[in-house]
A and B are shown apart, each in its own frame.
Chain A
Amino acid sequence: MAGFDPQWFATRGFGGHGAALGMRYHAHGEDWAELALPYDERLIGDPASGVIASGPIITMMDMATSLAIWIKRNAFVPHATLDLRVDYLRPATPGKTVIGRGECYRITRSIAFVRGQAHDGDPDDPLAHVAGTFMVVGDVAGMGLNRRTEA
């Protein structure tokens, strides 16, 4: 496959932890991707309120920002999360699907800088804000190259 198509990637299913959480593809653009996490009682972190745990939100934002990097590089090549910071602006509303948007706003020879937000219906009323960095592997100098790195 030439380049990177997030929809194709999503139809393969996220597998592993993403599948266990019920994560789905939602939308994407030139340097961003959105994922959806439908409400599920198995994700609850606070049984008293029914609010989902923060862990699934980190997973979704890690994945959405990862997709944004692959889209920006137009290649499905390995990278590793260096750090991820999440600010929890407010609890997610029980029963609502959470949408997570990740954006890769800068990429250098070795580091991809990402940011993103999560909301549950109104993008102007976000519930979480994230910022992070990834170590990128392979040639990004030409950006959009589809050179697969053989580790």
Chain B
Amino acid sequence: MTIGLPPYAEILRVSVEAEDGAPPVLLMPFADDVLGRPGFLHGGAISGLLEMAAIAALQHALEAEGGADARIKPVNVTVDFMRGGRDKPTRAAGVVTRLGTRVANVEATAWQDEREKPIAAARMNYLIVRD
């Protein structure tokens, strides 16, 4: 499958790392453009990465059920920040917890060294508009 990343992904330098049937893992390198306080990632950049991972997981799930042309509208997001993002690459992946006819619930986590030690996690609700 192909994951279409928007222009905004280029500011974060996000790329799709692995996707062999599984929900894609997004990779964001450490760079000045995603810096918050000196030496740490900006919470907003982490949030942007989490949202892109969530949408990528949702596109993946929609494609799997043959609804790839459905439109996705964000309703809300809640981000929890667990650890500071340090000077190293960050990865993020989403999990679709429920995909309904009109609403999807998605969770995403971002990590650096170990997936078991997330730096941030988010819950999102999306509206699905099917033609």
Q: Which residues of A are interface residues toward B (Cβ below 8 A)?
A: 15-18, 20-21, 41-47, 52-56, 58-60, 62-63, 78, 80-88
Contact = CB atoms under 8 A, between A and B. Distances in A.
A120 B47 CA distance: 21
B103 interface: no
Contacts, number: 109
List 6 tightest A-B contacts by C-beta distance, closest first.
A59-B44, A55-B48, A16-B35, A17-B42, A53-B8, A20-B33
Contacts of A41: 7
Contact of A54 (B35, B37, B74): B74
A43 B7 CA distance: 6
Given A62-B42, A84-B47, A84-B79, A53 B6 contact: yes
Interface residues of B, number: 32
B8 A45 contact: yes
Contacts of A78: 37
A43 B9 CA distance: 8
Contacts of B10: 42
25 contacts: A15-B35, A17-B33, A17-B35, A17-B45, A43-B8, A45-B7, A47-B6, A53-B8, A54-B77, A55-B49, A55-B52, A56-B8, A56-B44, A58-B47, A62-B44, A80-B84, A81-B81, A82-B80, A83-B80, A84-B47, A84-B79, A85-B76, A85-B79, A86-B77, A88-B73
